[in-house]
Structure 1
Amino acid sequence: MPIEIRELVIRARVENSPQATSGGSSGGSSPQRGMSPADMQQIIARCAEEVMKALNQQKER
């Protein structure tokens, strides 16, 4: 059963960190360079929670 998402809200917070402003080119070109594994797990958990909410709302209809 396909899910139709009518509204998608994306929130982002950008912070300057000492690592990002050091001026060095250390590290790779990975988009996850400044993100810790704990932060990634938190984002994944939040996404899973939002998907489950959408599924439950659709189920109730």
Structure 2
Amino acid sequence: MPITIKELHIKINVDEKSGSKPGTGGSNGGNKAQIIAACVEEVMDILERQKER
């Protein structure tokens, strides 16, 4: 049975004091893992709410 995601909310906090500029490459490995983990958690929350209905 396929799962359809109808809504996806993504929240991003931007710290203007950081010295990094977009597109420099830097250390995105850890940041990317955090973003993926947050997305997976949101999707799991949505699925859990759908089960409760």
Alignment TM class, shorter chain as reference:
0.5 to 0.7
Q: Which runs of 5+ in 1 are unaligned?
A: 21-30
State the percentage of identical aligned residues.
35
Higher-RCO chain (CA-CA 8 Å, sequence separation at least 6): 2
- RMSD between aligned alpha carbons? 2.5
Q: Which runs of 5+ in 2 are unaligned?
A: none
Displacement of 1:32? 7.2
Structure 2 residue 5 is the aligned partner of structure 1 residue 13: no
Aligned residue pairs: how many? 49
Which ranges of 4 or more aligned residues in structure 1 deviate by more than 3 Å? none
TM-score by length of 1: 0.56
